[in-house]
Structure formats: C-alpha cells, structure tokens
Amino acid sequence: MDISVIVPLYNEAESLPELEAWISRVMKAYAYSYEIIFVNDGSTDNSWQTILDLREKNPNVKGVCFRRNYGKSPALNVGFERALGDVVITMDADLQDSPDEIPELYKMIVDDGYDLVSGWKQKRYDPLSKTIPTKLFNATARRVSGIPNLHDFNCGLKAYRRDVVKNIEVYGEMHRYIPYLAKNAGFARIGEKVVHHQARKYGKTKFGLNRFVNGYLDLLSLWFVSTFGKKPMHIFGFLGTIMFLIGFCAAIAVGAIKLCALWAHEPARLVTDTPWFYIALTMMILGSQFFLTGFIGELISRNSADRNSYQIKDEID
C-alpha cells in the first residue's frame, strides 16, 4: 500500500465527509493505493456514525474509536500502530490542512529520501493570540531539539516513512515534538515543506492557551529524558560533586578563620557569624541530596522495562 492517512479527531463530524471526499479525490487522481484511518478520540457528537457511513461508501476508510477522550497524541499513536502504507501522512480533521499537499509530501519521502517531512504553515489563518506564542515556542524547540531547519513543529500535516512511525511512541502531549522523537530514534533526514493553511471552517479549536505552558514542560522533560534518561547519575552526580566541593571548601574556610582568630588571641567570633558557615551547610546538604537522587535515578532506570530498548534499523538472521 502506498499511503496511510491518519486523522485524529475530536468532535469534528461536520468536517469529515468533506475531508474524506477531498482525500479520496487526490488519491484517485494520482492512482495511489491508500487507506484513511480515522481515530475518533472519544467524540461526543456523531463523528463515529459519520465515519461508519463513510466506510459504507468507501472501503479504504478505516476507523478506531476510543471510549473516551485521551488526546491527540494517543490518537496518533494508535493510528501509527495500525498504518500499513509505505508513507504515512497525518492531518487534522478540521480542514485546516489541505489534502492537495499529499502527492508532493509523498514524493519527498519516496524520491528525495526524507524520513520525515513536516508542514510549515508559513501564512497562518489563526488568531494572533496563537501565532505569536507559537513563534516563540518554535524558536525554543529548534534550539533544544537541535533540529535547526524546522519552523513549525506542531503542524498537524506531516509525512513519515513507515519505519519512523513504527519506532516512535507518542504519548502524553508529545505530538508537538514528533520530529524530536524521530531524531532521538535515529531518523536524521528531517525536511520541511511550506503548506497552505486555512481558517477553521466548522467547530472550534480543541486546545486552549494552556497548550503553551504544557508544551514547554513537555519539551523540558523530553530533553531531560533523552539526554540523561539512561544515565541519571551523570547529571545528578556532577551537580552533587560540585556542590559538595563548594561546601567542603567553605567548611575549611570556617575552620581556618576560627583557628586564625584563636592563634592571634583575638576575641574568637562564633562560627555562625560568618556567611561561610551557612554556605557550607546548605551546599553539603544539597550536594548529598543530589547524589542520592542520582542513585535513586540509576536504580529506577536499571529496573525500567525499556532500559535495553535500542533502535535497531535492520536485522539479518
């Protein structure tokens, strides 16, 4: 099969027939063999019934129905598990992404050898309250992830080589960082294509402003897990050592000051009168805390189920 189109959706019943017709039209024009996997993320409108009706007319339509709303990432993950196509395309259900982009995305994966191509909504039709924070968000994501050529991490329209989607796990709200997940799994050829964007035609956005706070926290934990997840002692042990050393030197300074005073028969001041005493105290306590955290981190990572899961590209047996 050439292409799997995965569409996560939450209460998008009005858009679905139009979207399905448009995708099918493009697929027929280019004679691709394809499937459309609608993942109904616990919609409370009649999205699922609409999908069943579409299936009656078009056997290429497939669907998964969640019992409740889990979020866009779990919906994508389930779609990725089901996908059969050589190239996997994801797009939002709200008709903001145009299926006319599919042939070009397909070509970039198959002919130009990209592992992942992300859409870039260069000209957006969204409110300013969304576009300005998005610019900041993308600048940070570029830095942290080390993928300097992407302008629009969270674009719903993306194309993947099948290997990519079978080897990444999208959970929580990590759909914003799929290129980063792919890069961490060893897929280095990540490209970008400018895509057309339209204003939402039906319904309203499913993500509020808290997307930006959660987005940053996710980026932070992803960075942490990908850098130190398998070797927590490297960060905590390092910080612990530095702090302990500072504390230790400060303790020596406290002792030395006291001794000098006694030596010179000056009226001895209490050790608690110098700031070094407090620096020594906090630094040594914090340093040992960091060390203990590192040890506990090591114990946890040694016992985690995927401690030895590495990305294997190919196998001969």
Site for Mg ion, rule CB under 5 A: 92, 94, 96
CB of 200 to Mg ion, least distance (A): 6
Residue pair 38/9 in contact by the 8 Å Cβ criterion: yes
Residue pair 43/73 in contact by the 8 Å Cβ criterion: no
Site residue total, ligand UDP (CB under 6 A): 17
Residue type at 31 in one-letter notation: A
Residue pair 76/37 in contact by the 8 Å Cβ criterion: no
Asked if 93 interacts with ligand UDP (CB under 6 A), we say yes
Which partner, ligand UDP, Mg ion, none, binds residue 79 by CB below 5 to 8 Å per kind? Answer: none
Can you tell me which of 23, 51, 77, 92 binds ligand UDP, judged by CB under 6 A?
Answer: 92
Can you tell me which of 5, 6, 9, 116 binds ligand UDP, judged by CB under 6 A?
Answer: 9
Can you tell me which of 48, 50, 72, 193 binds ligand UDP, judged by CB under 6 A?
Answer: 72
Question: DSSP state, 272?
Answer: G
CB of 205 to Mg ion, least distance (A): 6
| Cα(94)–Cα(87) distance, integer angstroms | 22
Joined tokens for residue 257: 């000051």
Q: Phi and psi dihedrals of 44, rounded to 5?
A: -105, -5
Contact range with ligand UDP by CB under 6 A, out of 67-75, 82-90, 141-149, 306-314 = 67-75
Q: In terms of CB distance, is 31 or 128 closer to ligand UDP?
A: 128
Q: Which residues pair with 192 in a beta bridge?
A: 118
| Cα(13)–Cα(262) distance, integer angstroms | 84
Can you tell me which of 3, 5, 6, 10 binds ligand UDP, judged by CB under 6 A?
Answer: 10
CB of 18 to ligand UDP, least distance (A): 13
Residue with tokens 């890069």: 183
Find the binding residues for ligand UDP in span 201-220 (CB under 6 A).
205-207
Of 78, 42, 86, 45, the C-alpha closest to 62 is 78
Residues making contact with ligand UDP (CB under 6 A) = 8-10, 12, 41, 69, 71-72, 75, 92-94, 96, 156, 205-207
